[in-house]
Amino acid sequence: MNTSGLSPQEQAKKRAGYKAADYITNGMTVGLGTGSTVAFTMARLKERMTEEGLLIVGIPTSIQTTMRAGALGIPLIGLEQAEKIDITVDGADQIDPEMRLIKGRGAAHVRERIVADASTRLIIVADPSKICSHLTGPIPIEIIPFSFSHVIRRLNEMGGMVTVREGVKKDGPVISDNGNIILDYTPVSIPDPSALETAINMIPGVVSCGIFAEFTSKTTVIIGEESGPRIIGLP
Ligand SMILES: O=C(CO)[C@H](O)[C@H](O)COP(=O)(O)O
């Protein structure tokens, strides 16, 4: 891939994204996350398919990733066709020292959580700006449209600030790949990410929030440091 013209942050994403492709071996079923960092992993997988004859199938987590894989010629299968998913590679918006995550800037976290849950291993790729001492939010929350006033009321009762995500190139709310609305919720603080994840996901109408605290035991985080990719968690 041509690196000329990449900003320092894009170069960091590329270092992380490319390194993740080293973990993929012949015959694997690979969960393909969403976003600009995993796009570099997909580009590297395409290079390896061409150079080494690497044979893989991907399971996409969004329409964006489906289209990107199609353009690259990475073969895809549906989740229902996969006996297992060996590794999922995905991005994140915040990563705390225990590898708990906030995801969903791209509104893809519902499918990302399903695919991550179905995977034997999860590799998170990110530039150094995503590392934080503790999760702060905003936490993306996908909700069923019918429920929006109720969920907003419940979140307001929990404290903090909640907004309905609006489209940049579209009037009105962002509609997810699943036909739902996205809220962005910034709590006063997040002392216990697992407890908050459960509390938000329990509100009727919530499909899923963007806190991912349950995958740490199968997670590797790759940070694209300037000195080279830094590996945290599972080797
Ligand atoms: O959760 C996500 C999409 O819903 C992305 O993985 C996350 O926002 C990171 O994206 P990027 O790699 O572009 O920074």
Are residues 188 and 101 part of one domain?
Answer: no
Mutate to test the pocket of ligand 1, among 18, 34, 109, 115 (most ligand atoms within 8 A of CB): 34
Query: Average pLDDT in the 56-85 region?
Result: 97
- Domains: count for the chain: 2
Residue ranges of the alpha helices (H) in 77-233? 109-117, 148-158, 193-201
Q: Whose CA is nearest to atom 7 of ligand 1?
A: 92
Whether residue 33 has its Cβ less than 6 Å from ligand 1? yes
Are residues 219 and 170 part of one domain?
Answer: no
Buried b (16+ CB within 10 A) or exposed e, 97-115: eebbbbbbbbbbbbbbbeb
Query: Average pLDDT in the 94-112 region?
Result: 98
Are residues 93 and 43 part of one domain?
Answer: yes
Residue-level pLDDT at 1: 47
Query: Average pLDDT in the 50-73 region?
Result: 98
Is 202 domain-assigned? yes
Residue with tokens 């936490």: 139
Respond yes or no: is residue 80 known to be catalytic. no
- Integer distance in angstroms from the first to the last C-alpha of the chain? 26
Query: Which amino acid is it at 111?
Result: R
Q: What does the alpha-carbon distance between residue 113 and residue 175 come to, in Å, rounded to a whole number?
A: 18
Q: What does the alpha-carbon distance between residue 47 and residue 44 come to, in Å, rounded to a whole number?
A: 5
Mean pLDDT of all residues in the chain? 97
Are residues 229 and 199 part of one domain?
Answer: no
Mutate to test the pocket of ligand 1, among 38, 105, 124 (most ligand atoms within 8 A of CB): 105
Residue 21 domain boundaries: 8-132+214-233
Instruction: Enter the ipTM.
Output: 0.99
Residue with tokens 């015959």: 27
CB distance 167 to 158 below 8 Å: no
SS3 44: helix
Are residues 157 and 187 part of one domain?
Answer: yes
| pLDDT per position as a tens digit, 123-174 | 999 999 999 999 999 999 999 999 999 999 999 999 999 999 998 888 999 9
Is 109 domain-assigned? yes
Whether residue 105 has its Cβ less than 6 Å from ligand 1? yes
Q: Whose CA is nearest to atom 10 of ligand 1?
A: 35
Are residues 84 and 30 part of one domain?
Answer: yes
* Rounded percentage of the chain residues whose pLDDT exceeds 70: 98
Active-site residue, from 10, 51, 98, 112: 112
C-alpha Rg value of the chain to the nearest Å: 18
Is residue 4 over pLDDT 80? no
Beta strands 29-32 and 85-90: pairing type? Answer: parallel
Residue-level pLDDT at 3: 57
Residue 161, domain CATH: 3.30.70.260
Query: Which amino acid is it at 85?
Result: I
Are residues 144 and 52 part of one domain?
Answer: no
| pLDDT per position as a tens digit, 17-45 | 999 999 999 999 999 999 999 999 999 99
Query: Average pLDDT in the 188-200 region?
Result: 98
Query: Average pLDDT in the 9-15 region?
Result: 98
**What pTM value is reported for the model?**
0.96
Residue-level pLDDT at 168: 84
Whether residue 165 has its Cβ less than 6 Å from ligand 1? no
Number of H helices, E strands in the chain: 6, 13
Q: What does the alpha-carbon distance between residue 28 and residue 87 come to, in Å, rounded to a whole number?
A: 8
Are residues 221 and 165 part of one domain?
Answer: no
* Rounded percentage of the chain residues whose pLDDT exceeds 90: 96
